[in-house]
Chains A and B, each alone.
Chain A
Amino acid sequence: MFKRALAVAVPAVLLFATGCADQSVGESPAPDAAAAKYPAKTLQIMAPAGAGGGWDTTARSMQKTLQESGLLNGQSAEVRNVTGAAGTIGLAELVTSHQKDAHQLMVTGLVMVGGVVTNKSPVDLSKTTPIATLTAESEVVVVHKDSKYTTLKQLADDIKADPTSVKWGGGSAGGTDQILVGLLAKAAGADAKAVAKQYVAYSGGGETKAALLSGDVTVAVSGTSEFADLVKAGTVRALAVSGATGADAGAGTPAPSIKESGYDLELLNWRGVVAPPGISDSERTAVLKLVDDLHNSPQWKQELADKKWQDFYKSGDEAAAFYAAESTRIKTVLTEIGLG
């Protein structure tokens, strides 16, 4: 009998991994009490994408840091994944099912801002209670080492003269990479829609690399870390990074920023955290304090260093203003390149 049960249970245990933690059982304490000692129950952090991605790692780093640095008031934190449609499915769930629940947080980012526009999502970030931005990664524009382009200006001049002369490769349609291409075309004074039509979407960095190296695309756009090893090896050349100032894209010497190349454009692939709508002011203050403490903890600094994330902290009203500004800018460019 035992062996039979064991034979079922062993694969069972190995097969099944993550829970279906959906119910947060337990009564919600009064708002004031909540502000006094927050969190008062298990803190739920939603990663609105599958395991292993950027949002998931951010959520799990937050969970780890909060628990290790003892900020949780003796409570625990759980991470749960809700996948789909650039995070807009998770966003919709947060806004509709978890209203007024200050113990439900969600990781968000630039990709969700884009996803709201391209997927015509009925809810956007303005429906949430913005808490803070946490990290950011700069984008990089690279060409093959045998390419005729050595500066971003040459590239920009070419697309201004003939928008179809350059084939771009990068991540999914309407994602950060294509947004950057659209913004770059605008900044260069080129026909943004015609340029964005030359953009070929690839699933993942490996495919984009292969396409650049085989000669399918002229220019690749991606997160800086993705191409760092190829830049280091000298196989590809970094023309520019998308942050405010130049940064090392792998070559050992800093690559210029787009701004330094003469185009007024900055784009960071940022990630942040939001709370559901309808939480009280005191609850909001409590959440803000928790995330503040998280950001100031040495454990978080260590996480940033380990994961090679750039610290990009704005909280409270500053974060709300940033979310709003990004939403406007991204919506505009996506509409202009025909993806809105």
Chain B
Amino acid sequence: MRKSLVFGLFVLGCVLFLAALGATSHVRVSHFLAVSRDLGDITATLKLTDISFSDDARYTRNPSQADIFSAFQDYPGSIEHFPSGSVTPPPDFTSLGAAMKVRGQ
């Protein structure tokens, strides 16, 4: 088979695969839009202001409530006052056997 034909088939295969992904994304987005009405109901009823994106700091759990204006406050994207924060890794959570096992399921 000609090399150019192989390349053409490869490009066509990739484009068809992307089209199939596009079709599945349409289905998944429709599902989310249906669910988002219920999510909006939870937000309105409980008067929530933030998504539970990451709860390792107050300013990541509630970015909209971060005290951007006041001195020595932390907020998303802030430049750290002390360099230690950039080089301090998270603690080893593996000792939390049970909790981490649940997460691994």
Mutual binders A and B: no
Q: Which residues of B contact A (CB under 8 A)?
A: none
Q: Which residues of A contact B (CB under 8 A)?
A: none
